[in-house]
Amino acid sequence: MTNSRLSGLYNLSVAQRRAKVTESAPLPADLLSVYDTGGLSVDAADHMVENSVGMHALPVGIGLNFIVNGRDVLVPMVIEEPSVVAGASFMAKLARAAGGFFAKADEPLMIGQMQVLDAADLHSARLALLEHKASLLDEADAIDPILKKFGGGARDLQVRIIEDSPVGPFLVVHLVYDVRDAMGANAVNTACERLAPRVEAITGGRVHLRILSNLADRRLARVRCTVPVQELAFSDPDGRTYSGEQVRDGIIAAYAFAAADPYRAATHNKGIMNGVDAIVIATGNDWRAIEAGAHAYAARSGRYTSLSTWGTDADGNLVGTLEMPMAVGIIGGATKVHPAAQAALKLMGIQSAAELAEIIVSVGLAQNMAALRALATEGIQRGHMSLHARQVAIAAGATGDMIEGIARRMVEEKVVRIDRAEELMKEAEKQPKQ
């Protein structure tokens, strides 16, 4: 059993944190040593992309306090932005009081698209394809025997007519494919390419594009959480106090802004993606695919809006929900070949792609709540600035203990800027050594 409630982890050294994390779950003691190098060798990187010249590192923080579907989870988060790991962990702590996060992923159905040009009559071509649906699905089903062995394969064939486009009307075929524990892009692209000649023969048209859609709206993941209203009360460092009701109503009003205004919704959803992407990257998944799906889904009504909702339950507690496409895998792509991705899956005790999707949306919702709570009360900058100040201190050349000292001074002065950090560095260097 994992315990994700590790208080005081923040105050430990990196080595102590690693020990505490691996002791809190049934994990090998050296699991996190993969993060010494980020898990990849220069040689391995050379096999992954073209013209490789090495690797690019990012920090990994552990998201704490998460209970997802009744199970404690320690969450590896790869992100360069301060405050995200702390914000998500704090909100997960508040949500714990009501059982944490309740999440459910859809069946792993991906959509492959075929664009059929030059068919003489689009309506009869569409019906001809639907008449051959069973045999087309049989053919598509046989394309990936491994996927089939694991219970995946072709599930449905839909045909749409696009009436209005810059090249006039054409047909679009959607092949719906169950990709089990894979993200599925390669599997779906292969199936579309292999099916294309039969689609051409049936329609008399020409299959142009054959590619997966990242608007994976048949593969949504959903999560909800409740935060007891009394858990939301707090005092900020200036001594201002906020009641639970004030914080709750502030969060709901902040959500309403995102629900109604695309300018705000873009930033609101960016906050969700701070949590989402951090795990998607940690597990070697394709974060561009997730980003593309998220924003396309947020715009599905024709107006871009919030991916999450915030309201109250009958007892006045804060209730949050998030629903978004979540095409992630634990097989294939980089997930299997990247040792750090493998360690991340082990750390979370993940057995299926659905379970990974459920954890990811939980962290996205927690991160959304963290941003809304800060914005609706003391503002985002205080919490953010104390962490940001450390990066500014490092950028000014501070090392070791000097980083904390200079960061603290800048936060006290409320001037977090590189020029001030450089001045403070000079001052510190002038001080006689003790």
Output the smallest distance, CB 203 to ligand NAD, in A.
24
Q: Is 286 annotated as catalytic?
A: yes
Secondary structure class of 245 (helix, strand, coil): helix
**Residue matched to tokens 């599997």:** 187
Q: Is 149 annotated as catalytic?
A: no
Q: Is 193 annotated as catalytic?
A: no
How is 85-140 classified by DSSP, letter by letter?
HHHHHHHHHHHHTTTSEEEEEPP-EEEEEEEEE--S-HHHHHHHHHHTHHHHHHHH
> Rule CB under 6 A: which of 298-337 touch ligand NAD?
329, 331-334
Q: What is the C-alpha to C-alpha distance for residues 340 and 292, in angstroms, rounded to an integer?
A: 24
Output the smallest distance, CB 143 to ligand NAD, in A.
9
Q: What is the C-alpha to C-alpha distance for residues 256 and 373, in angstroms, rounded to an integer?
A: 14
CB 114 within 8 A of CB 199: yes
Q: Does 182 bind ligand NAD (CB under 6 A)?
A: yes
Q: What is the C-alpha to C-alpha distance for residues 265 and 231, in angstroms, rounded to an integer?
A: 26
Q: Does 355 bind ligand NAD (CB under 6 A)?
A: no
Q: Candidates 30-38, 86-94, 140-148, 249-257: pick the segment binding ligand NAD (CB under 6 A).
A: 140-148
Q: Which of 146, 209, 253, 395 binds ligand NAD (CB under 6 A)?
A: 146
Catalytic residue among 81, 404, 413, 427: 81
Q: In this complex, which beta carbon is closest to ligand NAD, that of residue 202 or of residue 330?
A: 330
Q: Does 212 bind ligand NAD (CB under 6 A)?
A: yes
Which two three-digit tokens encode residue 275? 């949590």
Q: Does 187 bind ligand NAD (CB under 6 A)?
A: yes
Residues 6+ apart with CB under 8 A from 283: 76, 328, 330, 335, 341, 344, 345, 350, 356
Q: Does 39 bind ligand NAD (CB under 6 A)?
A: no
Q: In this complex, which beta carbon is closest to ligand NAD, that of residue 144 or of residue 355?
A: 144
Q: Which of 184, 205, 275, 364 binds ligand NAD (CB under 6 A)?
A: 184
Q: What is the C-alpha to C-alpha distance for residues 232 and 230, in angstroms, rounded to an integer?
A: 5
CB 219 within 8 A of CB 109: yes
Output the smallest distance, CB 17 to ligand NAD, in A.
30
Tell me whether residue 268 is exposed, middle or buried, using C-beta atoms within 10 angstroms of its C-beta: 0 to 12, 13 to 18, 19 or more: buried
Q: Does 144 bind ligand NAD (CB under 6 A)?
A: yes
Stretch 230-269: interaction string toward ligand NAD, x if CB under 6 A: ----------------------------------------
Output the smallest distance, CB 57 to ligand NAD, in A.
20
Output the smallest distance, CB 145 to ligand NAD, in A.
8
Q: Does 191 bind ligand NAD (CB under 6 A)?
A: no
> Phi/psi at 18 (nearest 5 deg)?
-60, -45
Q: What is the C-alpha to C-alpha distance for residues 26 and 73, in angstroms, rounded to an integer?
A: 12
Q: Does 68 bind ligand NAD (CB under 6 A)?
A: no
User: 122, 121, 205, 191: which is closest to 159 by C-alpha?
Assistant: 122
Q: In this complex, which beta carbon is closest to ligand NAD, that of residue 332 or of residue 364?
A: 332
Q: Does 214 bind ligand NAD (CB under 6 A)?
A: yes
Q: Which of 154, 183, 221, 343 binds ligand NAD (CB under 6 A)?
A: 183
Q: Does 2 bind ligand NAD (CB under 6 A)?
A: no
Q: In this complex, which beta carbon is closest to ligand NAD, that of residue 24 or of residue 113?
A: 113
Q: What is the C-alpha to C-alpha distance for residues 373 and 361, in angstroms, rounded to an integer?
A: 18
CB 347 within 8 A of CB 27: yes
Q: Is 270 annotated as catalytic?
A: yes
Q: Which residues lie across from 311 on neighbouring strands?
A: 319
Q: What is the C-alpha to C-alpha distance for residues 275 and 83, in angstroms, rounded to an integer?
A: 11
Q: In this complex, which beta carbon is closest to ligand NAD, that of residue 209 or of residue 395?
A: 209
Which two three-digit tokens encode residue 55? 């690797």
Catalytic residue among 93, 268, 338, 384: 384
Q: Does 153 bind ligand NAD (CB under 6 A)?
A: no
**Residue matched to tokens 């990257």:** 281
Q: Please identify every residue annotated as catalytic.
A: 81, 270, 286, 384
The binding site for ligand NAD (CB under 6 A) comprises: 144, 146-147, 150, 152, 179-187, 189, 212, 214, 286, 289, 329, 331-334
